[in-house]
Homo-oligomer: A and B are copies of this chain.
Amino acid sequence: MKLTYIGVENIPMVVPGDDVLALIEKGLASMGESLQDDDVIVIAQKIISKAEDRYVDLVNVTPGEEALRLGEEIDKDPRKVQLILDESKEIVRKRIGALIVEHRLGFVHASAGIDQSNITNENGDDEDLCLLLPVDPDASARQIVEGVKQKHGLQVGVVINDSLGRAWRMGQVGHAIGVAGFTALEDYIGSYDIYGHEMQVSQVAAADEIAAGASLLMGPTDQMTPVVLIRGYRPRDPDDIELKGVQPLIRPKDMDMFR
């Protein structure tokens, strides 16, 4: 069994309104490649956010009382703190310079996934420019899956990928923040091992494993390429691909010993 990860070349700088699927297909064509049935396309969150114009300029953000107080406490620009709070349900941890929150989508992310690197505006006047996560990354992923089906009659999977920090371990790793077209979490609960014992590994976060593997080809903040194609992946339960998206990967708060 073989999996091939193909870094898609010649993806241009993405600007608001761009058709990301069209850019991916152009990139593939420039390599003599095209989409095939059962390909999984991993797309860096950043280009989806850019295409969806999720820019916010901090000059337009007025920090409220909580953001001002918190900004002073953790030594962080209160306008950025306000933006993080606006994108979040609650603060999970804080320390000087760092704010770990539960994003409104349920993810536990540093700074609510808001980016300030590898982005700029037309004037290069970008000190205060921020890029938020897509409004609904599952919907963004679904749109690509449906676009491919309509244009080519092919069934593909899509993962929107973000590099995230983790508890207990150093370094960032690619994680899925949006999923469509396949099962993000493979469930083996009630399965038995080769000797007839109940399985101890009962759920595999397949979409996160795909995102992590693809991140290797993206480099830090998608410097190398923002799109990676995975060929040869056979998802478990291929019929069970209704619109569950990334939600099965989010651990409910009451099942989390680290919240």
Contact = CB atoms under 8 A, between A and B. Distances in A.
Given A117-B201, A233-B216, A169 B250 contact: yes
B208 A212 contact: yes
A199 interface: yes
Interface centre among A4, A197, A201 (most CB of B within 10 A): A201
A203 interface: yes
Contacts of A223: 193-194
B115 A195 contact: no
A95 B220 CA distance: 37
Nearest to A248: B170
Interface stretch (A133-141, A145-153, A172-180): A172-180
B258 A197 contact: no
A256 interface: yes
A70 interface: no
Interface in A164-195: 166-175, 185-186, 188, 191, 193-195
A42 to B, nearest CB: 11
Interface string A206-250: 101110111111011101110000000100000000000000111
24 contacts: A1-B7, A2-B4, A5-B5, A5-B213, A93-B257, A100-B257, A126-B195, A126-B197, A166-B251, A167-B258, A168-B250, A168-B259, A169-B175, A173-B212, A188-B220, A191-B220, A200-B221, A201-B220, A202-B220, A204-B219, A204-B220, A209-B216, A210-B213, A210-B216
Interface of A: 1-7, 9, 93, 95, 98, 100, 107-108, 115-120, 124, 126, 163, 166-175, 185-186, 188, 191, 193-195, 197-206, 208-210, 212-217, 219-221, 223-225, 233, 248-251, 256-259
